[in-house]
């Protein structure tokens, strides 16, 4: 048997043996892969970690589904990012809506020159979020990765007495540590 046929045969055996069970963990996702950017702003968030503490439960969730809270901070600052996912069991089935299926609880940033950002309450964020490497509805210690696509979040920019609202892109793939 040739070398390439041998490898093909092994691949078929591995796939038939183990099925399509997901590989748990964030894979190659960057620790600071979540980016908030636009209009002179470029902020990354890091050290995201999941906690199944039921902060935003969905009353229609099946028994045993516990909402996930995901927290982290701005790279180089203590400004927070906090998300809550009422139905983590839906993360692997496709893209979820940012703002409703993936709630932004807190999002802030220090953008220099005495200016800060805080999440504006209106309009609602848009975009989608999907997971890869997710096992146990996000409760697996291996963690997982979240990918934010086409996200737009209204952010209140405060520079001294001057306050305005910017619609910034929230995008990227970020590693999330397990509980």
Residue 128: inside a domain, yes or no?
yes
Give the pLDDT confidence of 30-60 residue by residue, as tens digits: 999 999 999 899 999 999 999 999 999 999 9
Specify if 5 maps to a domain: no
Q: Is residue 2 part of a domain?
A: no
Q: Note the pTM of the prediction, 2 decimals.
A: 0.86
Domain total in the chain: 1
pLDDT tens-digit series, residues 144-176: 999 999 999 999 999 999 999 999 999 999 999
Residue 71 included in any domain: yes
Give the DSSP H or E segment for 137: none
Q: What is the pLDDT of residue 22?
A: 62
Give the domain range for residue 159. Answer: 23-177
Q: Judging by beta carbons within 10 Å of its beta carbon (0-12, 13-18, 19+), is residue 23 exposed, middle or buried?
A: exposed
């Amino acid at each position: 048997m040739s070398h390439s046929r041998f490898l093909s045969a092994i691949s078929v055996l591995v796939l038939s043996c183990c099925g399509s069970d997901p590989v748990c963990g964030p894979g190659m996702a960057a620790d600071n892969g979540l980016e908030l950017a636009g209009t002179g702003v470029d902020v990354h968030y890091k050290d995201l970690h999941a906690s199944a503490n039921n902060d935003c439960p969905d009353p229609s969730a099946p028994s045993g589904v516990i909402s996930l809270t995901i927290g982290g901070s701005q790279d180089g600052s203590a400004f927070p990012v906090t998300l809550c996912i009422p139905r983590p069991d839906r993360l692997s089935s496709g893209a979820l809506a940012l703002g409703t299926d993936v709630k932004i609880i807190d999002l802030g940033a220090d953008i220099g020159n005495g200016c800060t950002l805080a999440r504006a309450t209106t309009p609602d964020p848009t975009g989608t979020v999907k997971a890869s490497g997710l096992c146990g509805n996000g409760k697996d210690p291996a963690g997982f990765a979240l990918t934010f696509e086409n996200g737009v979040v209204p952010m209140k920019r405060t520079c001294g007495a001057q306050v305005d609202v910017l619609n910034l892109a929230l995008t990227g793939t970020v590693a999330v540590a397990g509980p």
